[in-house]
Amino acid sequence: MSNVFLGGPISNAMHGNIFDGKIKKYISAIIKTLESKGHNVLSAYIEEDFGNNQCDIKEMFNIDISLINESESAVFFLYYDEAFLYCEKTFRYCEKVDGLLRTDGSYIEIGICYKREKPKPMPITIISNGPRKKLPNMLQSMIKQHSNRVKFIPFDEIKTKLV
């Protein structure tokens, strides 16, 4: 059994104190798929019970770094939706890029995982319910130039392609 870090949007997926139901279904399906393949999923989604037990940003960052350091690979879910999502926490519409929900923390975590070289380079899988072409250029480049360790899987293919 290997430890897999699972990252994705949390703060921008919250409606007040309630985690977005659609996003939760996607994340839950990814967790279930990883566990069915024998992986131990390490994630703030589990640690914080989908935002029900949110901690401050510094503590969240420390938890994420600890979970990443315990993991052999990483999976990130990037949520795609054309509609705007109102974020009551910040009293603004959460920013989206071509329908991709803003998730700054996930991009930081992807960078940390990508930079991790020891004991060996960390494999990274990006999953989205939207098209690959909607991912930011940085991720497009990582997937294209480093396909041996960074890959993209459409959400509807996770059962067959997620290992």
Please give the share of the chain, as a percent, with pLDDT higher than 70. 88
Res. 120 pLDDT band, cuts 50 70 90: confident
Per-residue pLDDT tens over the stretch 81-117? 766 444 555 544 455 555 677 777 888 899 999 988 7
Rounded Cα–Cα distance for residues 102 and 95 (Å): 6
Owner of token pair 């940003």: 57
In this structure, are residues 128 and 107 in contact, taking their beta carbons and an 8 Å threshold? no
Q: Quote the pLDDT of residue 152.
A: 94
Domains and CATH numbers, the chain: 3-161 (3.40.50.450)
Closest CA to 2 of 120, 128, 150: 120
Per-residue pLDDT reduced to its tens digit, 44-71:
888 877 777 777 778 888 888 999 999 9
Q: Are 75 and 91 in contact (CB under 8 A)?
A: no
* pTM summary value: 0.86
